């Protein structure tokens, strides 16, 4: 099941970023969160992790969450079971090696999923992240104003925000630098996807 938002009484947002880590844009985005006292989730690609492990280590050290976004960004629904498992396992192992913890969050490339992939993700203990702002399309560089407006429209308690830090993400980074102070001023906490789920679970009646 893809989680686009979490039912929670707390005014929290989970910003998430796909396709990194990138030594330029990931670092810029992380710096913005540091300035505003927030944390985010970075759904990393195994190939990018191998190229930039120090960036990922810095994210983990700063309290951000590393999630699994596959090794090479294929459409996982088009692969057989062994190939799917290898995509998840290689990145899972890299995250464990770099951060010393096993990831608990996953996002399928292109958000392409099926029952078999959901079962595989569940076997790793992953929660599958979606996003309420899919019309942002920041991967296509539609403009800072478009990105900011579509993300802002998704601001509500428990929302998962989907953006990208891999590739040329100058527009995304600029939008984030505008959005974070707005979110904080509106009373939102900026938390990881894992923290959002944990807080919601603790708030739910037994």
| Residue 73 Rama label (left phi>0; alpha psi -120 to 50; beta) | left
CB 30 within 8 A of CB 64: yes
CB 129 within 8 A of CB 193: yes
Rounded Cα distance between 84 and 123, Å, is 13
Low-confidence ranges of the chain (pLDDT < 50): none
Q: What pLDDT was estimated at residue 205?
A: 64
CB 40 within 8 A of CB 192: yes
Q: Which two tokens stand for residue 203?
A: 């708030």
CB 104 within 8 A of CB 71: no
pLDDT > 90: percent of the chain: 96
Q: What pLDDT was estimated at residue 201?
A: 81
CB 118 within 8 A of CB 128: yes
User: Does pTM surpass 0.95?
Assistant: yes
The strand ranges marked E within 22-98 are 41-44, 65-68
Active site residues: 18, 164
The DSSP H or E segment spanning 53 is: helix 53-61
Q: What pLDDT was estimated at residue 200?
A: 75
Pairing state between β 2-3 and 127-129: parallel
Which of 62, 91, 60 lies closest to 76, judged by CA? 91
């Amino acid at each position: 099941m893809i989680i686009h938002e979490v039912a929670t009484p707390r005014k929290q947002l989970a910003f998430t970023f796909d396709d990194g880590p990138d030594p330029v844009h990931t670092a810029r985005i992380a710096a913005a969160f540091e300035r505003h006292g927030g944390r985010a989730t970075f759904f990393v690609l195994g190939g990018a992790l191998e190229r930039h492990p120090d960036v990922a280590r810095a994210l983990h050290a700063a309290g951000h969450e590393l999630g699994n976004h596959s090794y090479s960004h294929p459409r996982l629904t088009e692969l057989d079971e062994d190939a799917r498992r290898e995509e998840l396992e290689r990145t899972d192992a890299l995250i464990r090696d770099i951060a010393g913890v096993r990831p608990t969050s996953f996002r399928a490339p292109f958000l392409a999923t099926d029952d078999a992939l959901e079962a595989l993700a569940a076997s790793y203990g992953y929660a599958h992240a979606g996003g309420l702002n899919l019309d942002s399309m920041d991967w296509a560089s539609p403009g800072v104003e478009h990105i900011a407006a579509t993300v802002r429209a998704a601001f509500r308690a428990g929302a998962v925000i989907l953006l990208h830090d891999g590739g040329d993400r100058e527009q995304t980074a600029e939008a984030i630098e505008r959005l974070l102070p707005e979110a904080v001023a509106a009373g939102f906490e900026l938390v990881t996807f894992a923290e959002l789920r944990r807080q919601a679970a603790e708030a739910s009646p037994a």
